[in-house]
Chains A and B, each alone.
Chain A
Amino acid sequence: MKASRDGDRIVLALGGGEALILRWALVSLVAAYRVPPGQIDPRIAAVWYSRRGCQTAKMSEEDAGEWVRQIHAFKSENLALIEAWLGQLAKKPGRRIELVLTVDQAEAFVRVLNDHRLRAAAEHEIGQEEMDIRDPGPMERLGPERQTALVEIHFFAWAIEEILRQIAPDAAGWGAGSE
C-alpha cells in the first residue's frame, strides 16, 4: 500500500491482496459496530467500550451506560463511510485499486483501522509478548489463527503510519512500534 496526497485528497494505492485484506477487515468491522455494546464479545468491549475510567470517575451505572452508548454512536457514525469505502474497493476485485479519501475521511479511516487492530488483539489474546515477536520460531508456536491476527495487526500498523505521514506528518515517524 502506498499513500499519497493530492491537495485535500489522500490516495491509497493498494495491491489486489492488500485490498482483499482491507475489504475483509472493513466488512467485519461493519458487523461489529452494529452490535450494541452490551451484546458484543466482552474481550472487544474491554478495549472499545472500557468502563475503567467510568469507575475511577465514580460515575453512576446509568451515567456509565449513557457514556458507553455515546461512544458506540461515535463509532457507528463511521458506518456510512465504511460502506462507501467498500464500494470503492469492490470496483476491481483482485486488481490494483485506488481508495480516495478526503483528509477528514482519512482521520476516520485511521481510527477504524486502529479499532480493527485493537479488536484483533483482544480476540486473539495478542499482548506485548506477541507484539514483540520478530523471529520465525516464536511466531510458529502461536498457531495459524493468532499468526494471521498478528500479521494483520502489523499490516494495519504500517498502513496507519503511511496515512499519518500524509495527514499528520508531525505525529508520524515513530515507525510501526507499539506504544
Chain B
Amino acid sequence: MAKRPTPGVVETPVGTPDMKVREAFAKGWAVIVWNDPVNLMSYVVFVFMKILGFTKEQATKHMLEVHNRGKSCVAIETREKAELYHQQIQAHGLTVTIQPVDHESE
C-alpha cells in the first residue's frame, strides 16, 4: 500500500539528485589493481607512488600483494575519487577496477 504523504513535509524520493550526490561523496568504493604478466614490478611501484602518493614501503607492499595474490585493494575512496584513480591508473597501463566495498571480496 502506498504511503500517504505527510502534509507540509517534502519527502525525497529514491534516486533523486540528492541521493546521487550523497552516493558520490560516500567513502565506499574500492580501487583494485590486478596482476598481469607484462607490467614491471618497479613500474608498478612507481605508478603507486606517483598516483596514489604512497611511500616506498606502502607501494612495495601493495605491488607484492598484486604479484603474490593476484590483486590488491589500493584505496577505499568516494566514488568520485575512486573514478579518478581508476582512470589515472588505467592510463598508466595497469589493470584496475573499482567497485563498492561490499563487493570487494568477490
Q: Which residues of A pack against B, CB within 8 Å?
A: 47-48, 50, 52-53, 55-57, 67, 70-71, 74-75, 107, 110-111, 114-115, 117-118, 121, 126-128, 131, 153, 157, 160-161, 164, 168, 170-179
Contact = CB atoms under 8 A, between A and B. Distances in A.
B39 A53 contact: no
Q: Tell me if B's interface is mostly helix, strand, loop or mixed.
A: helix
Given A126-B38, A131-B38, 9 more contacts: A50-B95, A56-B99, A57-B79, A57-B97, A111-B91, A114-B93, A118-B93, A131-B37, A170-B45
Nearest to A112: B93
Residue of A52, A56, A164 most packed against chain B (CB within 10 A) = A56
B20 to A, nearest CB: 13
Contacts of B49: 168, 170-171
Nearest to A173: B42
Contact of A160 (B36, B43, B79): B43
B98 A71 contact: no
A178 B8 CA distance: 64
B40 A71 contact: no
B83 A57 contact: yes
B92 interface: yes
A127 B39 CA distance: 11
Contacts of B59: 170-171
Per CB-CB distance, the 9 closest pairs between chain A and chain B, nearest first, are A174-B41, A171-B46, A128-B37, A170-B56, A53-B97, A171-B45, A174-B42, A56-B97, A56-B99
B78 interface: no
Nearest to A70: B87
A121 B42 contact: no
Contact of B38 (A110, A121, A168): A121
B63 interface: yes
Given A71-B90, A114-B92, A175 B98 contact: no
Contacts of B82: 57
B45 to A, nearest CB: 4
B98 A172 contact: no
A101 B99 CA distance: 38
B65 to A, nearest CB: 11
Interface string B10-41: 00000000000000000001000001111111
B44 interface: yes
A111 B40 contact: no
Interface string B65-96: 01100000000000100110011001111011
Contact of A168 (B46, B91, B98, B103): B46
